[in-house]
Structure 1
Amino acid sequence: MKILVVDDHALVREGLCQVLQCLDPHEKTDVLQAATCTRALELAHFNRDLDLVLLDYLLPDMNGLSALETFAQRHPELPVVILSGSANPSVVQQAMALGAAGFITKSSLSDTLLNALRQILAGEPYHPADLSPMSQAADGVQGKLNTPPVLSPRQQEVLVQLINGLTNRQICDKLSLGSETVKFHVSNILRIFGARTRTQAALEAKRWGYDPASSPESR
């Protein structure tokens, strides 16, 4: 088994390396380390046999949601687990919406981490029970968010165009993005805001202060 640990603190990486050796008593776990997302993506490119990525939410060169998006686009088959020192329910919700295989807080016990990773490797997503993104759901659609949603920089750019009423094709042209990329972002934005339609997402975004008139592009 091969796992990539991405964290800018060497002691954290070394500690995880030790813990991960207990993941499977019948198989050796090979752990690769990266201190930045840039290095992590390089390692993922040259190690196509990776089974899992443990990705710190706060990295020096890229925030966790942007890093998660990049991994999802370049390595959609690779499970990525977010590690964070804190667990804002909104962040958990958005990480899972962006395709994270799990969200684990660094305050978790080693056994909790190992059991979560075994569950993920078995094909089941994991998130702390008390921070489940589904806990805010009702009839398949979330109720209004109680905490401000956290969007990646690219999601914010797409959201501004969505609020302005642009179609996916127009967003592609405006931001020089591919159609699948825009569809990916719009779908995730709808999930983040608990909306079935673009109009609902735009209204909920405005409720949280996302105003196209204040964006750099409108000036």
Structure 2
Amino acid sequence: MTPSTGGILLVDDHELVRLGFRALVESRAMVPGQSPMVLFEAHTLAEALTLYREHHARIAVVVLDLNLPDSDGLGGLVAFRRHFPTAAVVVLSGTDHPATVQSALALGAVAFFSKSGDLGNMVGFVHVCLLHGPEAARQRLPGPATAFAGIGSATDAGEFAPIAGQTLSTRQLQILQWLLQGKSNREISQLALLSEGTVKNHVSTLLLSFGVRSRAQLISKLHT
């Protein structure tokens, strides 16, 4: 029986990155006995959310750039995870600062790859992820790359790293997205139909999770 590899949604506004990724995906799709990998492409976060909503049954992995025209830093990952909490999201970024890596993993990314690295490694990871699942793909990452995949990986993330091994709930992701939009506790309580006290508790948990002391620090960190 021919194995099915599912589809990939690539979200990146740089044409060269998409061309390179597409070429590598197509080269792997030519392997005898394997079904072609379907590749969807989006230039913006809004386009990606629409594509995933329409084709989620055919998309097994999302490759998400952190810097898009309509999202800044980790805000795009927060929005994607809030709308589709079960999506397998692999982060692709121009920066590989340890704190950013750990923050992305705490926000639910299954892996983190830097654009300065070998794009083929990321495509290989995605390929294994499609065939065998994210956990199997993480176990096959070679050498130092394992520090960029899986919750609780050992890396020197510094002052703003989230607590190792801790992931955020759907409600926390929702509140975090509103925080990044600059909404006050009162506004969030009205949107979420929660008491202000409950919202304050959630905000305090988020600050603690990311090791920051204020909303301003949290916003600054996640927009880096």
The two structures have a TM-score, normalised by structure 2, of: 0.65
Q: Is 63-72 or 38-47 further displaced after alignment?
A: 63-72
Residue 123 in structure 1 maps to residue 131 in structure 2: no
Distance apart, 1:52 and its partner CA:
0.8
* Counterpart residue type for residue 48 of structure 1: H
Residue 4 in structure 1 maps to residue 9 in structure 2: yes
Counterpart CA distance in 1 for 2:89 and 2:148 is: 18
Judged with a 3 Å threshold, the aligned counterparts in structure 2 of structure 1 residues 184 and 12 are, in CA distance, closer, same or farther, namely farther
1:192 corresponds to which of 187, 207, 210: 210
Q: Secondary structure at the match of 2:74?
A: helix
Q: Secondary structure at the match of 1:62?
A: coil
2:49 corresponds to which of 41, 44, 51: 41
Which residue of the partner structure matches residue 198 of structure 1?
none
Residue correspondences, number: 182
Which residue of the partner structure matches residue 90 of structure 1?
99
* Counterpart residue type for residue 209 of structure 2: R
Distance apart, 1:101 and its partner CA:
1.2
Which residue of the partner structure matches residue 205 of structure 1?
213
2:18 corresponds to which of 9, 13, 19: 13
Counterpart CA distance in 2 for 1:110 and 1:136 is: 22
Which residue of the partner structure matches residue 106 of structure 1?
115
Counterpart CA distance in 2 for 1:136 and 1:109 is: 20
Higher-RCO chain (CA-CA 8 Å, sequence separation at least 6): 2
Identity of aligned residues (%): 26
Cα pair 1:6 1:40 within 8 Å, conserved: yes
Which residue of the partner structure matches residue 176 of structure 1?
191
Distance apart, 1:60 and its partner CA:
0.9
The answer for unaligned runs of 5 or more in structure 2 is 1-5, 163-175, 219-224
Q: Is 30-39 or 117-126 further displaced after alignment?
A: 117-126
Residue by residue over 1:122-172, the C-alpha shift from the partner in whole angstroms, topping out at 9 and shown as x without a partner, is: 2327483455753258xxxxxxx635569x7645579x86xxxxxxxx785
Cα pair 1:101 1:120 within 8 Å, conserved: no
Cα pair 1:20 1:114 within 8 Å, conserved: yes
Cα pair 1:155 1:189 within 8 Å, conserved: no
The answer for unaligned runs of 5 or more in structure 1 is 138-144, 162-169, 194-203, 212-219
Judged with a 3 Å threshold, the aligned counterparts in structure 2 of structure 1 residues 187 and 157 are, in CA distance, closer, same or farther, namely farther
Judged with a 3 Å threshold, the aligned counterparts in structure 2 of structure 1 residues 19 and 135 are, in CA distance, closer, same or farther, namely same
Q: Secondary structure at the match of 1:134?
A: coil
Distance apart, 1:184 and its partner CA:
7.6
Cα RMSD of the aligned pairs, angstroms, is 3.7
Counterpart CA distance in 2 for 1:74 and 1:184 is: 19
Counterpart CA distance in 2 for 1:97 and 1:109 is: 24
Judged with a 3 Å threshold, the aligned counterparts in structure 2 of structure 1 residues 171 and 97 are, in CA distance, closer, same or farther, namely farther
